[in-house]
Amino acid sequence: MIKILTFCLSVMFVINLQADTTDSKWKNIIELKKTGDHCKDDANCFNRYHPAIEPRATAEPGDIIVLHTRDALDSNYSFDAVAEDVPTFNLGEVHPMTGPVFVKGAKRGDALEVELLDIVPDEYGYTVIVPGFGFLRDIFTEPFIVNWKLTRTGLYQIICQELQFLMKHFQVL
């Protein structure tokens, strides 16, 4: 029961934001790729907004921006990750973001309209419980990880393929 509750409460998966540019070849494409194993080693990665952080790219209004993103914990987990691997990352380095991107003509305080053209998940994602971290830290005191195979249409648990979820249940828009 606890494992099922864990799945339902904390499904976390890695997404890789990419624009499907097949019909937009005439537009300028700005692409920021991952360049290091972790955010701290990647010039295109930052983990907080601050005026001292310089833009990694500049875009014109109407340009297509392709961002290759990291998972929320900036981990190197993979399909063979086990519970013993969970406490091996630094929680002070979480929340990696790709960018920032400067949009020409935009001024501080402007609201920019953004159209998401496509979201492509990585092939791997995970649900993790980190001891002492999160809103259920008093209930779940042992590390735990569930590895997920992600596709464009859904995700399923590697060991128990009968447990499948459709991606449409996780859409935020």
pLDDT tens digits, residue range 127-157? 888 888 888 888 988 998 988 888 887 766 6
> Using 50, 70 and 90 to split pLDDT, how confident is the model at 164?
low
pLDDT at 104: 97
pLDDT tens digits, residue range 44-68? 999 888 989 999 999 999 999 999 9
Residue 127, burial from CB neighbour count under 10 angstroms (0-12, 13-18, 19+): buried
Q: What is the distance between the alpha carbons of residues 76 and 113, in angstroms, rounded to a whole number?
A: 33
Task: Tell which wins on pLDDT, 120 or 153.
Answer: 120
Task: Tell which wins on pLDDT, 92 or 10.
Answer: 92
Cβ-proximal residues to 14 (8 Å cutoff; 6+ apart), any chain: 69, 70, 71, 121, 122, 124, 125, 126, 150
pLDDT at 15: 36
pLDDT at 12: 30
Task: Tell which wins on pLDDT, 12 or 43.
Answer: 43
Question: Where are the chain's structural domains?
Answer: 2-170
> Using 50, 70 and 90 to split pLDDT, how confident is the model at 87?
confident
| pTM strictly above 0.85 | no
pLDDT tens digits, residue range 4-33? 322 222 233 333 344 555 555 668 999 999
> Using 50, 70 and 90 to split pLDDT, how confident is the model at 41?
very high
Q: Is the pLDDT of residue 94 over 70?
A: yes
Q: What is the distance between the alpha carbons of residues 29 and 171, in angstroms, rounded to a whole number?
A: 25
**Could you give the angle at the alpha carbon of 152 between the alpha carbons of 99 and 22, nearest 5°?**
65
Q: Is the pLDDT of residue 103 over 60?
A: yes
